[in-house]
Amino acid sequence: MASVSIRLDGVSKRFDHTVKGEVYAVRQVSLSVATGELLTLLGPSGCGKSTTLRMIAGFEEPDEGAISIDGRDVTHMLPNQRGIGFVFQNYALFPHLSIFENVAYGLRVQGKPAAEIVRAVGEVLELVGLAKYERQQPHQLSGGEQQRVALARAVVFHPKVLLFDEPLSNLDAKLRVEMREQIRALQKRIGITTVYVTHDQEEAMAISDRIAVMERGEVVQDGTAEDLYYRPRTEFVARFIGRTNLLTARVVSAGEVEVEGVRLALAARKPAGERVTLVVRPEMIALLPDAQGAGRIVQRTFLGEKTDYQVALGGAVLQVTAGGEPIARLLAPGSRVAVRIASENVHILS
Residue from 29, 55, 141, 154 touching another protein (CB under 8 A): that is 154
Helix (H) or strand (E) holding 316: strand 316-323
Which of 63, 86, 74 shows the shortest CA–CA distance to 150? Answer: 86
Minimum CB distance to another protein, residue 257 (Å): 42
Q: By rule CB under 8 A, what string of x and - marks binding of each residue 86-115 to another protein?
A: x-xxx-xxxxx--------xx--xx-----
> Does residue 72 touch another protein according to CB under 8 A?
no
Question: Can you tell me which of 15, 24, 59, 230 binds another protein, judged by CB under 8 A?
Answer: 59
If residue 183 lies in a helix (H) or strand (E), which one and from where to where? helix 173-190
Q: Print the binding letters for residues 131-150 with another protein: x by CB under 8 A, - otherwise.
A: --------x-----------
Query: Cα–Cα distances in Å, from 137 out to 98, 140, 147?
Result: 5, 6, 14
Helices 114-127 and 143-155 cross at an angle (nearest 10°) of 130
- Give the shortest CB-294-to-another protein separation in angstroms: 41
Which residues make Cβ contacts (< 8 Å) with residue 335, sequence separation at least 6?
Answer: 289, 296, 297
Give residues 169-188 in contact with another protein (rule: CB under 8 A): 170
Q: Are strands 64-69 and 262-265 parallel, antiparallel or unpaired?
A: unpaired
For another protein, the binding residue among 23, 36, 60, 336 (CB under 8 A) is: 60
Distances (CA, A) of 254 to 210, 258, 349: 34, 12, 16
* Dihedral in degrees, nearest 10, Cα atoms 125, 126, 128, 131: 60
Nearest to 57 by CA among 213, 184, 171, 165: 165
- Binding of another protein at residue 277 (CB under 8 A)? no
For residue 80, the minimal CB distance to another protein (Å) is: 5
* Binding pattern for the stretch 28-57 against another protein, x by CB under 8 A and - elsewhere: ----------------------x------x
Nearer to another protein, 27 or 153 (CB): 153
Applying CB under 8 A, which of residues 133, 157, 240, 309 lies at the interface with another protein?
157
Residue in 84, 195, 205, 313 binding another protein, rule: CB under 8 A = 84
Q: Is 200 in the site for another protein (CB under 8 A)?
A: no
Residues 6+ apart with CB under 8 A from 180: 168, 203, 206, 207
Residues 6+ apart with CB under 8 A from 31: 6, 7, 8, 39, 212, 219, 222
- Phi and psi dihedrals of 152, rounded to 5? -60, -40
Phi-psi group of 316: left, alpha or beta (phi > 0 → left; psi -120 to 50 → alpha; rest → beta): beta
**Shortest gap between Cβ of 105 and another protein (angstroms)?**
5
- For the CB of residue 287, give the shortest distance to another protein in the complex, in Å: 39
196 binding another protein? (CB under 8 A): no
DSSP lists the bridge partners of residue 73 as 68
Q: Name the segment binding another protein (CB under 8 A); options: 5-13, 157-165, 248-256, 339-347.
A: 157-165
**How far, rounded to the nearest angstrom, does the alpha carbon of residue 317 sit from its chain's CA centroid?**
28
Q: Report the alpha-carbon distance of residue 223 to residue 41 in Å, rounded.
A: 11
In angstroms, give the least distance from the CB of 130 to another protein.
18
Shortest spacing between CB 193 and another protein, in angstroms: 15
User: 3, 30, 80, 299: which one contacts another protein (CB under 8 A)?
Assistant: 80
Closest CB 131 distance from another protein, rounded Å: 21
Report how far residue 276's alpha carbon sits from residue 299's, in angstroms, rounded to the nearest whole number: 27
Interface size with another protein, residues (CB under 8 A) = 32
- As measured in angstroms, the least distance from the Cβ of 95 to another protein is 5
The residues that touch another protein, with contacts defined as CB under 8 A, are: 50, 57-60, 78-81, 83-86, 88-90, 92-96, 105-106, 109-110, 139, 153-154, 157, 163, 165, 170
